[in-house]
Amino acid sequence: MIGTILMERYRLEEMIGEGGMASVYRALDLRTGHRVAVKFLRQELQANPEFLDRFRREATAASRMSHHNIVNLLDIGDNPNSPYLVFEFVDGKTLKDIIKEHGQLPQGTAVQIAIRILSALRHAHEAGVIHRDIKPQTILVDKQGYIKVSDFGIARMVGAHTSDMGETQSVMGSVHYFSPEQARGEMATFASDLYSVGCVLYEMLTGHVPFEGETQVSVAMQHVQAQAQPVRSFAPEVSEPIESVVKKAMEKVPESRYPSALLMAQALHDALLPQSDTSPVPVFEEGKKTKPRTRRRPRESLGTKIAVSLLSLVLIAGIFTGSYFIYRDIVNTTRTPLLTGFLLSSAMREAEREGIIIRVARNPSDEPVDTVIDQSIDVGQPIKRGDVLLLVVSSGHARKPVPSVVNLDLQEVKRTLERISLEVLVVKEMIHSAPKGTVLFQDPSEGTVVDAGSIVQLTISSGQAKVPQLSGFILAEARDALRKAKLEIGKVEEMAIADTSQVGRVASQLPVAGELVAENSPVDLVVYILQKTEATESPKNEGKP
């Protein structure tokens, strides 16, 4: 598949994911130059009407939506024998990966992620789409901290008149996150998605799922019958208002949960605010029974619209400010990798992938040269991307023979000797035909056994250049000639002359033409200038008769 070009536009580059239903490839859009994700239904499922229907449903659901917190559909494959969908490419990790890496997430970060999931669900619900499979595995976090809800493969469109059990003969959704009504095989509703968000938020705050069991059936039955342990019993630092939001979202009866994704997002937003003695006045109350139509109805409808708009603005503001916390606490934080025992080159590549800056200190040891023998931060400890990790690298045995460095470039010699903890000292430079910086002599000589930290004295070539003849050149011509000879213009002095034809030309030079000097040596010049003449005036006999 790699290298295949679809619709003369999408070139497949790499498989980036594979599940029970589909395989996902990263591809290059040859028209725009952007990366995209191409999702194929697995070959063995292409003849299965049930899975083909799911795939078509995902395309239908995705085509109804366009939102910054949803992985947006870009194109639909036109090959009936191998159906595929083209989505925007999200360069990052799943929320599940992040929870595995970090364990419990900071309260503010977890809430900000939940608000973004709810923002996506509000858009989906308004489009008549119920996700039915909200879980950390379907939430993507890109490298800039943006949250994207993905995988509407088992989504249901409101009004489709299909039951969950009738479609698959099994419960739809993931057992650790689906709602009690889904566990009973009943129709999923908007409230079912909110229950799943409650489960995801529970896991972010505590580091583990609400219910555990040896079998999927036992977990499903707990969703129906059992109450999850309070969030604060695992994470006492979580505030009571946040715990209350999680509890309400995970109510067994759908009607006891939040009426909408927007109101749950508002509740989370309010729960993060500093607490006071007076209860905050709700922006508006959704789900309230309306009175019979009267003349005042238009005004009430307008007020409700204004309230919804104001709430949306508040939540949008929270989304933008919350991006900082997601980036700081999740995207910009990683776990210190194991680098001890690896060669320095491999360790630096691994650190670069994690965004960690490496500093190196060298110590003698029995390990081979360039082997990492220690690191300043223990494996698995949190470290922010851009922070410095000190690696102690082996320079070999404490006593070692000096290698031959004659005829090598000085910079290469420094790298070679520093790797084995020997110091470099340039004691002399000589005019020589060898390229500038070439080592001509060394002390101690090759093979001499010295202690780590010993100094190797070097005599290096300063290069060799022949001074050109510059007399009679104008100054610009002289500068060009010196540059070509690998020399520089030095002091420029002036000599007055009456001959205007020589003005601006070189009168003499030092060093003289033909002399061999070091590269980049200065050549001093004397340049003719026009001699000044003093005007003579007859004396004035002012005041005399």
- Show which residues are catalytic: 133
Residues present in the chain in total: 545
| Residue 405 near residue 431, CB atoms below 8 Å | no
Under 8 Å between Cβ of 453 and 421: yes
Q: Could you tell me the two tokens for 157?
A: 């469109």
Distance, CA of 56 to chain centre: 33
Q: 10 Å Cβ neighbour count for 366?
A: 10
Cβ neighbours for 180, distance < 8 A, ≥ 6 positions apart:
195, 223, 224, 252
Query: What are the tokens at 163?
Result: 């039951």
Sign of CA dihedral 137, 143, 148, 152: negative
The DSSP line for 360-375 is: EEEE--SSPTTBEEEE
Output the six-digit token pair for 423.
């110091």
Helical axes 107-126 vs 261-272, angle rounded to 10° = 160
Q: Write phi, then psi, for 486 (nearest 5 degrees).
A: 65, 40
Beta strands 388-394; 357-363: pairing state: parallel
Among 206, 164, 155, which Cα is nearest to 183's? 164
User: What is the distance between the alpha carbons of residues 52 and 57, in angstroms, rounded to a whole number?
Assistant: 8
Classify strands 423-430 and 156-157 as parallel, antiparallel or unpaired: unpaired
